[in-house]
Amino acid sequence: MTIPAGAVVVDAMGGDHAPSAALDGAAVAAGRGVDVVLCGDASLRDRTDLPVVVADGVVGMDEDAALGLRRLPDASIRVAARTVADVPGSVLVSAGSTGATVGAALLELGRLDGVRRPVVAARVPLPDGGTVVLLDVGADPDPQAEAYPTMARLGAAHARAMGVDHPRVGLLNMGVEPRKGTRRTIAAEGLLTGTVGFVGNIEPADVLRGAVDVVVCDGFTGNLVLKTIEGLSAGMSDVADRRATRDRAAHLLGVRGTVLVMHGAATGEDFAEAVSLAARCATAGTRQ
């Protein structure tokens, strides 16, 4: 099978609604002119006209990611990452286990120089129409303080790729005063001090005020903040407009390739938008 450069490679077996949601969304995106390749069970070939790279097994959402990747070297997420590694300019999209996606990307794509642990960055829409980069939102729930300077560097680079010339970086904390919070955030603040663009601690309310362009925090906190914002947005009267403008996927930063991570509950509509976003990343040559 010849896969065109810049194709969007979808882990069709990942997510709560797999593979139906991936198939439905991929078909919509393909109708928009996107080159889509699916990775998954051979039976998918009977359900779609899109090209399928056959994989053997799925790393479950509730399974230890490292053990699952070792148990299934040809699992759908690992085959998808391997395909992206082999096809220039291609992009990976998955709604499967975040841990498995991170692990597969590390195994098949490799990490960028100076990066010990990749992070997942979400672009959160602001009321004024702008966006703020929030990271980490799930790759590493319990990082060491030493990870924060790299996190800030990756987040700032991502913001610059979005058109922010001089990104302001804030550390999410329970108060703006210096030496606030847990032992980890206090240590992280000290390590971040002097970093280009770092403005200090910020509180959760500052995130949606656009006080900074990049917000750094541990993956556990970031995931809760992101889901809280999504939950609040769902109750707003302009929810349709907000859903139309927000990304349906977050970016995995720190690996040698472009990888988009979706929520496990992603629908067919979510897949269609995420695959379209991935195609725009491929066209722009975005590599995190």
Name 262's Cβ contacts closer than 8 Å, sequence gap at least 6: 15, 93, 94, 95, 248, 249, 250, 270, 271, 274
List the structure tokens of 69. 């990747």
What does pLDDT average to over the chain?
91
User: Does residue 227 carry a pLDDT above 50?
Assistant: yes
Per-residue pLDDT of 211-226, as tens digits, reads 999 999 999 999 999 9
User: Does residue 267 carry a pLDDT above 60?
Assistant: yes
User: Does residue 276 carry a pLDDT above 70?
Assistant: yes
Per-residue pLDDT of 198-209, as tens digits, reads 999 999 999 989
Phi, psi of 54 (to 5 degrees): -75, 135
Per-residue pLDDT of 103-129, as tens digits, reads 999 999 999 998 989 999 999 988 888
Phi, psi of 128 (to 5 degrees): -85, 5
Q: Kindly report whether the global pTM for this prediction surpasses the value 0.85.
A: yes
Residue that has been written with the tokens 């939102």 in this structure: 137
- What mean pLDDT do residues 30-56 have? 95
Kindly state the DSSP code that residue 235 receives in the 8-state scheme.
T
